[in-house]
Amino acid sequence: MRILMTTDTVGGVWTFTRELVQGYLEAGCEVLLVSFGGRPSALQMVTCEELLHKSHRRFRYIPSELPLEWMTENGLVQDQAFPLLRSLAEDFGPQVIHSSQYCFGGLSDMVPTIVTAHSDVLSWAAACRKEELPASAWLHNYMHLVEHGLKKATAIVAPTYWMAQELERRFGYGSEAEVITNGRLLECDCAGPKAMQMITVGRIWDEAKGIHTLNDVTFPIPYVIAGSRQHESNRLQRIPGGATVLGPISAMEIIKLFSMSSIYLCSSIYEPFGLAPLEAALCGCALLLRDIPSLREVWQDAATYFSDPSELPALVSELSSDIEKLQKLQDAARNRAQLFNREQMVRGYLQLFNKFVSAAQGIRHAA
């Protein structure tokens, strides 16, 4: 199967994409990957070079610095990104398009187009802001791009039922969405000694990650935060007291940190799935998560939850002083994480693709 896939270079969507592309290639597919949102990092380029080498040239990567639909200059999406993808699709001849951006659902007039709903600005704003987003040309463009893409998409996929419900609530689309949970194949040494420290990883400039809600919290064990503090005009102004901030680090360094840490803290106030907690759990971290519906859906009773940051010092103190309880939570998280593997994710998407590709072929033969 020939798959044209779109992604972005900004956050966890890249990790999601990397896992799927590897799975698609292992299944014998041919993949053209196109990224938006900014110049890829050196490590992202290395990843794509490795995929090209391992796939015997069944993989091709084209980076674009054109903005994503939620970015400031989103007017360029319609004017430049669509023509780019249409041209690439005409040359590549995909059987299916798999987009991580809503807007490209509008390409379904070419071939079956599947859109994965990773998040959206409206549900993000509802979680992160006290007031509605003000009317603006940017928001108008965003709404038009998303609504048109959702309306035209052959199928919509969400990583959780919560995200599917949010799409229905905010845009009127999502009730028919397929839920295919994210997955990760991760080789991690969980047998080695773990330091009594806590870690958080992610786009810490994004208020959805909730790092700013921890400013008045003092933790009884070392707390390490890894991730970029700034993107465009967004910047994390303050760091929780006593925390060590590493800034952006490589995927390999992140896995190493997970392997040597005892607890993963997810302070997110908005998290449609959460790949970082999954990676941490696979590396043997106990999970300490903000009590929001999406994280409850994914982790159920395999984590400890908090509603208010003021609860954290006592919870961390309890976990760090009760080794038996900590180990049980680490085991529970790791066992739960095994459910969210690359194989189940790739199988779910390929089954969906085959369904619509077969239907499209049937229509062409009938014509």
pTM of the model: 0.91
The answer to whether the beta carbons of residues 257 and 224 sit under 8 Å apart is yes
Q: How far apart are CA 21 and CA 98, in angstroms?
A: 11
Strand partners, 158: 179
Q: Quick one: pLDDT at residue 249?
A: 80
Residues 6+ apart with CB under 8 A from 189: 259
The answer to whether the beta carbons of residues 126 and 81 sit under 8 Å apart is no
pLDDT digits 0-9 by tens, 112-166: 999 999 999 999 999 999 888 999 999 999 999 999 999 999 999 999 999 999 9
Q: How far apart are CA 281 and CA 275, in angstroms?
A: 10
Q: Quick one: pLDDT at residue 366?
A: 52
Strand partners, 61: 33
HSE-CB of 38 using CA atoms within 13 angstroms:
12
pLDDT digits 0-9 by tens, 300-325: 999 999 999 999 999 999 999 999 99
Strand partners, 289: 266, 305
The answer to whether the beta carbons of residues 332 and 301 sit under 8 Å apart is yes
pLDDT digits 0-9 by tens, 335-359: 999 999 999 999 999 999 999 998 7
For strands 230-231 and 234-235, give the pairing. Answer: antiparallel
pLDDT digits 0-9 by tens, 222-261: 999 987 764 444 545 456 667 888 877 888 889 999 999 9
State which amino acid sits at residue 16: F
Q: CA gyration radius for the chain? A: 21
Q: What are phi and psi of 69, to 5 degrees?
A: -65, -25
Q: Quick one: pLDDT at residue 285?
A: 97
Q: Quick one: pLDDT at residue 231?
A: 45
Identify the band that residue 175 occupies on the pLDDT scale cut at 50, 70 and 90.
confident
Q: Quick one: pLDDT at residue 19?
A: 95
Q: Give me the domains of the chain, ranges plus CATH numbers.
A: 2-183+341-366 (3.40.50.2000), 195-337 (3.40.50.2000)
Give the number of other CB atoms < 10 A from CB of residue 189. Answer: 11
Q: Quick one: pLDDT at residue 282?
A: 96
pLDDT digits 0-9 by tens, 37-86: 999 988 899 999 999 988 888 999 999 999 999 999 999 999 999 999 99
Q: Quick one: pLDDT at residue 7?
A: 97
Q: Is the pLDDT of residue 361 over 80?
A: no
Give the position of tokens 């007017």.
Answer: 75
Q: Quick one: pLDDT at residue 215?
A: 85
Q: Quick one: pLDDT at residue 241?
A: 65
**What string of H, E and C letters represents the secondary structure of the chain?**
CEEEEEEECCCHHHHHHHHHHHHHHHCCCEEEEEEECCCCCHHHHHHHHHHHHHCCCCEEEEECCCCCCCCCCCHHHHHHHHHHHHHHHHHHCCCEEEECCHHHHHHHHCCCEEEECCCCHHHHHHHHCCCCCCCCHHHHHHHHHHHHHHHHCCEEEECCHHHHHHHHHHHCCCCCCEECCCCCCCCCCCCCCCEEEEEEECCCCCHHHCHHHHCCCCCCCCEEEECCCEECCEECCCCCCCCEEEECCCHHHHHHHHHHEEEEEECCCCCCCCHHHHHHHHCCCEEEEECCHHHHHHHCCCCEEECCHHHHHHHHHHHHHCHHHHHHHHHHHHHHHCCCCHHHHHHHHHHHHHHHHHHHHHHHHHC
pLDDT digits 0-9 by tens, 154-163: 999 999 999 9
State which amino acid sits at residue 301: D
